[in-house]
A and B are shown apart, each in its own frame.
Chain A
Amino acid sequence: MEHLNSLIFSLCSQFGVSGFEKDISGFAVSRLSDYMDVKTDNLGNVIGELDGGGIHILLDAHMDQKGLFVTAVEDNGFLRVASCGGMDIRVLAAHEVIVWGKKPVLGVVPSTPPHLVKEEDSKKATDISEISIDIGMSKDNALKLVKPGDRITLKSPQFKMLGNFVCSPAIDNRAGVCAILRCLEILKDKKLNCRLTVLLSVQEETTGSGAKTGGFSIQADEAVSVDVSFAGAPEIPTEKTGEAGKGTMIGISPALDYAISRKLEKIARAQGIKYQLEVMGSKTGTNADHIQNAGKGAKTALLSIPIRNMHTACEVISLEDIESTAQLMAAYILERGVKRDA
């Protein structure tokens, strides 16, 4: 698990807010190149290919993270911002951030001191439109480093917790990228009888454009998308979540291929890979929705890694769930890749 721990922390340390995934993309290309031929497309998707002949299987994980945009530099040097992907505004007060300007610039989201907050507003989070970030500089100095359009990420330390739990920003969805890299490592010395394509996609947190265009150009027969999903925690009804540390979550949804979902379950059970089912009544809210109906369409499944505190800078997962996700994908590819149209 040490190896997975260092890989997930490296992946999560790369900057890559939706639409500006250059750093994480460069890192992903270098890691993916250990296993396959790699190219990037017009939108910035990283695509790896390994042609063993036979059925064409796609593995997808989005590599972008949510963040903020700089929209303006105020006269006092503070930065006005907008969301880039869904932010949880409740966690922003007094949060450290990095502004990805000409160089990384530290900032703090102001928290309004209690004496300036009206009683009725004391339990309300501040809207993004009312936030202006403190980078401790005059406007002139700020403008030398920062301009509108620059991305901002929440800053928080990475650390190991008890057992195999780890905490970091951007685990959504570097955990998915990590699971795919681990899957390729498992498959490294195996003879594949399928055509395997990996899509590390951009812009999932905003529009899903990476999966839409990547899915269109790849046109696989079958696809497995990997993302994170809700893990149980106090105050959350257990029927709405999986459990962290209890294995990969196999998605079952009207928008996913039911046969593949059940096949994944069957393989997991047969091989003793820890899993749990995640049943949804509609679309999944992940790249799977886009890949399924891109171009001629692909039979699509979804594996999710349970995560706590999703969309904060302190996302928590169990490394064991990355491992079981990787194991299940690898087992599926080995079993599925025997002959076309099996």
Chain B
Amino acid sequence: MLEELKTLCSLMGVSGREKKVRDYIISQVDGCAEYSVDALGNLLVFKQGRNRAANKVMLAAHMDEVGLIITYVTDDGFLKFAPVGSVDIKVLLGRSVIIGDNTFGVVGVKPVHLLKPDEKKQIPEKDSLYIDIGAKSKDEALKSVQIGDVAHFNSDYIEFGDGLIKARALDDRAGCAVMIEMIKNEQPYDLNFAFTVQEEVGLRGAKTAAYNICPDYAIVIETTTAADIAGVEGHKRVCCLGAGAAISFMDKATVYDKELYDLAFEVAAKNNIKIQPKTAVAGGNDAGAIHNSNGGVKTLTASTPCRYIHSPSCVLKKDDLNETLRLVNAVAAEFASR
């Protein structure tokens, strides 16, 4: 699973441009399952199990990542951009990005020496930011970059610390890696998988994926903010690295089915899987679109805790990813057979 995750994190897949991620996933699941791609670009995979499922279960993880889109090129060759998805301006300043396939750039900042004292601690306004690619003119820039190109963070996959991974786009390539692992292995029951597009710009892919699959139950496999950093205590940590999959009772897009929420903890206890509640009503994910789809779908979200999410340096723990995989395997079989 880690090899796949590493490759997934090397691929560019800003919302609306998920093709490279999708093509790689297809290369991994081809021969293990049936698949199709819908009009929006969702990759829908049917994995036949040893037994027919009593209920149709859909598992979902999104392929897209947050990034930037180039909106304008200035006369002196600098690129203006808009964020794609929710990107904290703070994590862009003085940071390297890759535009399209291979144009390297930097989000420029005014040198600190030229700032007024009150500006030195002030994050600049979003509209003042630009990307520098070393072009001397608009014409030179336009030879390498087109208006409408997307850019992503320039950040490698690195294992570090006590079993941790640092990479960009762990949200939600981690979920994709878990699903690839499930598809590659034999399953007790038939399962439907949706690798969705455009989650970061409003859960857009999941809406049609859920319509197309029309499931009875859904499990969204995600990453979620872990704020277990120095100076943050108690419930404000949301979830902690090393404590297993985080289960949501409510977020900004979904009030989760209480029965499924409780069931996840029961299944975890029975199978000795590490699990934790997500202790904040924050964020939102594809569950928001899926539970409202068709005539309504009972939905669960299981997330791998991830620090510094939506930044170039997302951090998660390998053990948590494994616990998420174990939990989703067990819960999916439970849903399919009940």
Any A CB within 8 A of the CB of B133: yes
Kindly identify, within residues 219 to 248 of chain B, every residue whose CB is under 8 Å from any CB belonging to chain A.
225, 227, 229-232, 236, 238
Q: Does B256 contact A (CB under 8 A)?
A: no
- Encode A151-177 as 1/0 by CB contact (under 8 A) with B: 000001101111111110000000000
Shortest CB distance B90–A (Å): 4
Q: A91-B94, A105-B160, A163-B140 are in contact. Are A308 and B225 (CB under 8 A)?
A: no
- Across the interface, B308 reaches (CB within 8 A) one of A94, A116, A160, A245, namely A94
CB-defined contacts of A106 to chain B, threshold 8 Å: 158, 160-161, 166
Bin the interface of chain B by size. Answer: 35 or more
By the criterion CB–CB under 8 Å, are B230 and A311 in contact? no
| Contact B134 A90, beta carbon cutoff 8 Å | no
Question: Is B229 a contact partner of A132 (Cβ separation < 8 A)?
Answer: yes
Interface residue A134 (Cβ < 8 Å from any Cβ of B): yes
A137 to B162 alpha-carbon distance, docked (Å): 5
The answer to whether A90 and B121 touch (CB under 8 A), given A161-B105, A316-B132, is yes
In the complex, how many residue pairs between chain A and chain B have their CB atoms under 8 Å apart? 202
Min CB distance, B305 to chain A, in Å? 12
- Tell me the smallest distance from the CB of B154 to a CB of chain A, in Å: 6
Is B208 positioned at the interface, with any CB of A under 8 Å from its CB?
Answer: no
Interchain nearest-CB distance for B295 vs A (Å):
33
Q: A74-B230, A236-B114 are in contact. Are A124 and B133 (CB under 8 A)?
A: no
User: Residues of A contacting B312 with CB < 8 Å?
Assistant: 94, 96
Listed residue (B134, B282, B311) with the most chain A CB atoms within 10 angstroms of its CB: B134
CA distance A189 to B293 in the complex (A): 78
Contact (Cβ within 8 A) A110 B230: yes
B309: which A residues are within 8 A, CB to CB? 113
Main secondary structure of the interface of B (DSSP, over half): loop
- Which has the most chain A C-beta neighbours within 10 Å: B133, B160, B282? B160
On whether the beta carbons of A230 and B113 are closer than 8 Å, the reply is yes
- Establish whether residues A309 and B94, one from each chain, have CB atoms under 8 Å apart when the complex forms: yes
B123 within 8 A of A: yes
In Å, the complex CA distance between A20 and B77 comes to 39
**How many Å lie between the Cα of A8 and that of B61 in the bound state?**
43
Question: In the bound complex, how far is the Cα of B309 from the Cα of A112, in angstroms?
Answer: 10
Q: Is the CB of A235 within 8 A of B110?
A: yes
Residue A272 CB within 8 A of the other chain = no
* Inter-subunit contact A130/B166 (CB<8 Å): no
Give the B-binding residues of A (Cβ under 8 A). Answer: 74, 76, 78, 86, 88-91, 93-96, 105-108, 110-116, 122-125, 127, 130, 132, 134-138, 141, 156-157, 159-167, 230, 233-236, 240, 245, 285, 308-314, 316, 318
- Chosen A-B contacts, 21 in total, with CB atoms closer than 8 Å, are A74-B230, A90-B122, A91-B94, A93-B93, A95-B95, A106-B166, A108-B166, A108-B307, A112-B232, A125-B122, A134-B307, A135-B160, A136-B161, A141-B162, A161-B133, A162-B136, A162-B140, A166-B134, A233-B130, A234-B74, A309-B106
Q: Beyond A125-B90, A316-B132: 5 further Cβ-contacts under 8 Å?
A: A86-B113, A105-B160, A108-B166, A110-B307, A125-B120
